[in-house]
Amino acid sequence: MSTPSHQEALFLEAKQGQWAVRTTELRKPGPGDIVVKVEAAALGGVERKIQAWGILITEYPTILGLDGAGTVVELGEGVTTFVVGDRVTFHGNWDTIAGASYGTFLQYFTGSAQFAVKIPDSISFEAASTVHLGVATAAFSIYNQADSAPSAKYLAPWLPGGRGKYAGKPIVILGGGTSHGQYVTQITGGPVELVYDAVSTAATLPFALALTAPGGNVIVVQFTPEELIAQAQKDGKAVHMVHGVFRTPINHEIGGTLLWKLPELLNSGDIKLGDLLYPNRWEVLPGGLNGIVGGLERMKNDQVSGVKLVVRLQETD
């Protein structure tokens, strides 16, 4: 398979600056990298927050997007886990320490093979593009056992001894209709030592904190006012802020085990992707890269209900 020298990508040109679809060179793969022809990418909540608030990213211009799926078209030196032609889902490059992103809102993605997973032919690129961030956010915040991880530190159901370990143990999920909240519902196995607030605004946070038993864990998805955290800690409740980025070092170990098991979890239906019957449905936005900004605007205006917005990156208008 040959790759072109140039591609189209959606850039955020500067901190709190303008979005622009423009031509850019493909990146050459380094050792351990793959190049993927991106067929579908899913919109997350964070891209619009980065643009509006100027947070997290310091290197501009930048290409955002954390979720993608497509076909492997080139292998970097030393890659043995994939062959050209493999269908994969992958996580965008986001270096949380350097504040740099080379994400999935482009036509040819170059990044580490470590964060990609093969997908069976039965799973569409659109469905596959909705997996990484949602599953990682849900899973890491509950199951990451690394010492300083922001997590309830339960044993993951895909690790030895984990499956069924918490059957019957209650959990409250506020905002279970959000995209990643639907993954939380799937992987925790029961309906209050653990409260997961998938919205974490003034509409839900006070309930989340009040519902949590002393000694329990509250998982939040947005920055929580210091005074609420201090009060929760005084009451013996731990507050953890989710972090669903595979590349962040604290997530490497749990992320590695999850990615290794992910094809099996998808094939078995333990993790379900959306269609008419299942949660985590998606909606394709028209216009490829040109459709992303309108989609982010809809998310900002609360005009997205129970679906993940997806774009097809090879569409040009």
Ligand X SMILES: NC(=O)c1ccc[n+]([C@@H]2O[C@H](COP(=O)([O-])OP(=O)(O)OC[C@H]3O[C@@H](n4cnc5c(N)ncnc54)[C@H](OP(=O)(O)O)[C@@H]3O)[C@@H](O)[C@H]2O)c1
The residue number whose beta carbon is nearest to ligand X equals 45
**Count of C-beta atoms within a 10 Å radius of residue 268:** 10
Q: Which residue of 222, 231, 233, 268 would you call a contact of ligand X, by CB under 6 A? A: 222
Least Cβ distance, residue 305 to ligand X (angstroms): 3
Q: Which residue of 51, 129, 144, 178 would you call a contact of ligand X, by CB under 6 A? A: 178
Closest of 142, 122, 138, 182 to residue 308, by C-alpha: 182
Of the two residues 32 and 306, which places its CB atom closer to ligand X in the complex?
A: 306
Candidate ranges 38-46, 98-106, 159-167, 289-297; the one touching ligand X (CB under 6 A): 38-46
Of the two residues 108 and 183, which places its CB atom closer to ligand X in the complex?
A: 183
Scan residues 284-313 and list those touching ligand X (CB under 6 A): 299, 304-306
Of the two residues 27 and 272, which places its CB atom closer to ligand X in the complex?
A: 272
Least Cβ distance, residue 2 to ligand X (angstroms): 36
Q: Residue 38: beta bridge partners?
A: 70
Kindly state whether residue 45 participates in binding ligand X, applying the rule CB under 6 A: yes
Beta strands in the chain (DSSP E): 6-12, 19-25, 33-42, 67-75, 87-91, 93-95, 100-102, 108-112, 116-118, 171-174, 194-197, 217-220, 238-241, 281-285, 307-312
**Residue 263 class from Cβ within 10 Å (0-12 exposed, 13-18 middle, 19+ buried)?**
middle
Size of the site for ligand X (CB under 6 A): 24
Measure the N-to-C terminal CA separation of the chain; round to a whole number of Å.
24
Distance CA 39, CA 30 (A): 22
Kindly state whether residue 266 participates in binding ligand X, applying the rule CB under 6 A: no
**Contact residues for ligand X (CB under 6 A)?**
44-46, 133, 137, 175, 177-181, 198-199, 203-204, 221-222, 242-244, 299, 304-306
